[in-house]
Amino acid sequence: MEALYIANTIRTAGVSFDAEKALLILSGNSIPENSDDFFQPLHTWVEEFNKTHTSKVTLRVFMTYFNTSTIRHLISLIKKMIQAHKNDLTIEWAYEKGDEEIRDRGQDISEVLKFDFKFEEVPY
């Protein structure tokens, strides 16, 4: 399965989904004008990945800012990952030092999904 790489822009997150490493990374800002268009390839990739991957996988989210529509897509992507990988899934939620809002959003998503995230505060 080919990796999915999307360079970040001022409005869209960087994406590095690598099936061989079983490492999926989302980073940066996510305020796309049309979130459905931006996230559709991510959903498609995750669905295909989930069909064939059967060992440990890590989803790392390191967002600096995101909007409500991004939260909807994040929750949907994470639900798909949880359903497919359950105990073999690690979700790492990184946030910049002192950015309590992003940390709190991650904690909220973790609680909504009833899945423990690993939280990491990183320097600027």
Residue 105 pLDDT: 97
Query: What separation in angstroms does the CA of 59 have from each of 21, 33, 34?
Result: 11, 24, 23
Cα 116–chain centre separation: 14
Cβ atoms 31, 11 nearer than 8 A: yes
Structural domain count of the chain: 1
Residue 124 pLDDT: 74
Closest-CA residue to 83 (of 105, 57, 102, 63): 57
Residue 49 pLDDT: 98
pLDDT 10s digits, 97-117: 999 999 999 999 999 999 999
pLDDT 10s digits, 69-94: 999 999 999 999 999 999 999 999 99
What's the CA angle centered on 17, arms 13 and 22, to 5 degrees?
140
**Range of the structural domain that residue 41 is part of:** 4-122
